């Protein structure tokens, strides 16, 4: 089958048009081995206890430690591989298999749960899947995390959520396996996964609990990474995905994914105190969209939309985004880097982090700007809307930050910063009294009211001032004084653009 003809989305759950359950549900278990004398007998005995198992084939790659004798004594049929290498052994097992369902296991496994065979093969027996991949509690190894997953996210995003793409525990229909290509190196498992997707197979993951594997040397892992990368890139070429445009599209998908605050939850889970700070008019001495419009001669289009309360916030946000359609991504980045920071912005964020706060930038602006500002002030995370880009240019359409919506959130606004706090309190497990909020505009009012410590920084209106317990003017370091934290006395940190501008003025 031509892989280029494959649908962009691979089915991950049972298809509605499933096969009928198979009457003869017996299984062939194939165990490729090379010098696994310490564990092979226990693996064979383990699978033979399951009444579904009709035969156990141990495919031996010329072991010299007695693996073959121990496997045979445990009740397996031992077959000498036709060619050195795991892929050849797996293919030899397929050719020798008597039954319709084939379950592959590694020969060095320990700590297997009793119902592993049933869990792995039940979707095949039920007719709800063609290819079953094991998901287990052990975190992904270094090759999985550093090589396989990044390449899958780039070239095969529809497969990127598989927890263990390199795992050797799979159960597959025999007729499907005969259509797939077996790489004869460490790329075999991820190659089979990709090829099964190309064959439009129904792919599922099954949780099998926790397992134990023998670890490998760094040199062996390096060779494994090379072979895995080679397999994924080769398949990407066959699918017509080795293009700069495809890589850029993958970057854009990843950027949108990271915009969801849940992406940062692992870091947030250990937080005891949170600080949520607005961007425009609080961290930035100005408003990003206004500076962007000014730089690109679009103020005439933007002005009627700014603070226009005759339309809903969501519609206004979308129309403002449309003003910037066609602008290069580099322009967004440059403006976000050049716009001046508020006095004390960097010092305040750094001091809060030293005091144990996790600091988030929460803004109605765009992630492209928010992430740049986050890096400028050294904050921990951002919550913001996402401007979508195509071919490095703004589409004019946005994805609203998921965290700004909540079914039990703000009663006044569908999209609100208060909803961010609701999500964080639920996910992180701390009380509102542990949250500091700093903002300046009307869109911060709901959030300021709900925070344990609320600061209106140079408030733009009376409602903002009234919503906060404290007011700070001029320098953000006033927030630190309110909290009783040390205040840095060193010179103000400036952007490169500000340094150059000051130098030009002095030179003149």
Task: State the CATH number of the domain containing residue 72.
Answer: 3.90.550.10
**Within this chain, do residues 211 and 263 fall inside the same structural domain, yes or no?**
no
Q: Residue 198 domain-assigned? A: yes
Q: What is the pLDDT of residue 502?
A: 47
**Within this chain, do residues 69 and 169 fall inside the same structural domain, yes or no?**
yes
Range(s) of the domain holding residue 427: 259-496
Q: What is the pLDDT of residue 508?
A: 46
Q: Residue 317 domain-assigned? A: yes
**Within this chain, do residues 183 and 294 fall inside the same structural domain, yes or no?**
no
**Sign of the CA dihedral running 92, 96, 97, 103:** negative
Q: Residue 504 domain-assigned? A: no
Report pLDDT digits (tens) over 13-57.
Answer: 333 345 655 556 789 999 999 999 999 999 999 999 999 999 999
**Within this chain, do residues 194 and 286 fall inside the same structural domain, yes or no?**
no
Q: Residue 415 domain-assigned? A: yes
Can you give the length of the chain in residues?
508
**Within this chain, do residues 486 and 427 fall inside the same structural domain, yes or no?**
yes
DSSP, res 18: P
H/E stretch holding 372 reads helix 367-377
Q: Residue 183 domain-assigned? A: yes
**Within this chain, do residues 288 and 363 fall inside the same structural domain, yes or no?**
yes
Q: What is the pLDDT of residue 489?
A: 62
Domain boundary pick from 148, 180, 215? 215
HSE-CB of 243 using CA atoms within 13 angstroms: 8
Give the integer Cα–Cα distance in Å for 301 and 15.
48
Three-state secondary structure call for residue 294: helix
- Residue 39's contacts (CB-CB under 8 Å, 6 or more residues apart) are 107, 108, 109, 110
**Look-up of token digits 């949780």:** 207
**Within this chain, do residues 293 and 198 fall inside the same structural domain, yes or no?**
no
Write down the pTM of the prediction.
0.63
Q: Residue 501 domain-assigned? A: no
**Within this chain, do residues 358 and 473 fall inside the same structural domain, yes or no?**
yes
Q: What is the pLDDT of residue 80?
A: 93
Q: What is the pLDDT of residue 391?
A: 80
Which residues on neighbouring strands pair with residue 284, listed in sequence order?
Answer: 280, 341
**Ranges in the chain, pLDDT < 70:** 1-24, 137-140, 212-217, 251-269, 489-508
Number of structural domains the chain divides into: 2
Q: What is the pLDDT of residue 216?
A: 66
Give the integer Cα–Cα distance in Å for 349 and 359.
7
Q: Residue 76 domain-assigned? A: yes
Question: Which of 81, 127, 128, 83 is closest to 107 using CA atoms?
Answer: 81
Here the CATH number for the domain that contains residue 343 is 3.40.50.1000
**Within this chain, do residues 197 and 266 fall inside the same structural domain, yes or no?**
no
**Within this chain, do residues 65 and 167 fall inside the same structural domain, yes or no?**
yes
**Within this chain, do residues 211 and 277 fall inside the same structural domain, yes or no?**
no
Q: What is the pLDDT of residue 503?
A: 52
Give the integer Cα–Cα distance in Å for 478 and 491.
16
**Within this chain, do residues 211 and 280 fall inside the same structural domain, yes or no?**
no
Q: Residue 404 domain-assigned? A: yes
């Amino acid at each position: 089958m031509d892989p280029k003809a494959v649908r962009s989305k691979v089915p991950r759950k049972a298809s509605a048009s499933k096969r009928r359950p198979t009457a003869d549900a017996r299984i062939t278990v194939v165990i490729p081995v090379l010098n696994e004398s310490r564990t092979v007998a226990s693996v064979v005995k383990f699978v033979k206890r399951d009444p579904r198992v009709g035969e156990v084939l141990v495919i031996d790659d010329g072991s010299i430690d007695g693996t073959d004798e121990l496997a045979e004594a445990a009740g397996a049929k031992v077959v000498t591989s036709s060619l050195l290498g795991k892929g050849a052994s797996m293919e030899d097992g397929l050719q020798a298999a008597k039954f319709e369902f084939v379950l592959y296991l590694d020969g060095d496994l320990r700590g297997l749960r009793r119902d592993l065979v049933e869990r792995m093969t039940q979707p095949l027996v039920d007719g709800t899947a063609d290819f079953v991949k094991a998901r287990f509690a052990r975190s992904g190894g270094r090759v999985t995390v550093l090589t396989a997953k990044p390449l899958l996210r780039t070239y095969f995003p529809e497969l990127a959520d598989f927890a263990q793409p390199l795992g050797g525990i799979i159960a597959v229909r025999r007729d499907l396996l005969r259509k797939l290509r077996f790489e004869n190196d460490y790329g075999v498992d991820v190659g089979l996964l990709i090829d099964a997707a190309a064959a439009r197979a129904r792919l599922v993951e099954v949780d099998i609990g926790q397992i134990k594997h023998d670890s490998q040397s760094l040199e062996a892992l390096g060779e494994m990474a090379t072979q895995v990368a080679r397999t994924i890139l080769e398949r990407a070429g066959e699918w017509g995905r080795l293009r700069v445009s495809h890589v850029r599209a993958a970057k854009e998908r990843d950027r949108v994914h990271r915009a969801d605050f849940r992406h940062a939850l692992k870091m947030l889970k250990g937080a005891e105190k949170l600080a949520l700070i607005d961007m425009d008019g609080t961290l930035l001495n100005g408003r990003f969209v206004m500076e962007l419009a000014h730089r690109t001669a679009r103020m005439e289009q933007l002005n009627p939309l700014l603070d226009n309360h005759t339309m809903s916030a969501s519609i206004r946000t979308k129309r403002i985004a449309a003003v910037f359609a066609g602008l290069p991504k580099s322009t967004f980045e440059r403006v976000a880097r050049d716009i001046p920071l508020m006095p004390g912005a960097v010092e305040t964020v750094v001091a809060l982090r030293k005091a144990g706060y996790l600091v988030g930038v929460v803004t109605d602006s765009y992630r492209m700007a928010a992430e740049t500002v986050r890096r400028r002030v050294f904050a921990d995370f951002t919550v913001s809307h996402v401007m979508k880009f195509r071919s490095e240019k703004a589409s004019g359409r946005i994805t609203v930050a998921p965290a700004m919506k909540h079914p039990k959130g703000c009663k006044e606004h569908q999209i609100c910063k208060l909803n961010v706090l609701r999500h964080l309190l639920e996910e992180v497990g701390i009380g509102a009294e542990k949250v500091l909020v700093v903002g300046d505009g009307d869109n911060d009012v709901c959030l300021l009211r709900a925070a344990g410590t609320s600061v209106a920084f140079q408030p733009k209106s009376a409602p903002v001032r009234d919503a906060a317990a404290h007011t700070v003017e001029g320098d953000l370091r006033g927030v630190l004084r309110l909290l009783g934290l040390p205040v840095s006395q060193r010179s103000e940190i400036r952007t490169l653009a500000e340094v150059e501008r000051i130098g030009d003025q002095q030179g003149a």
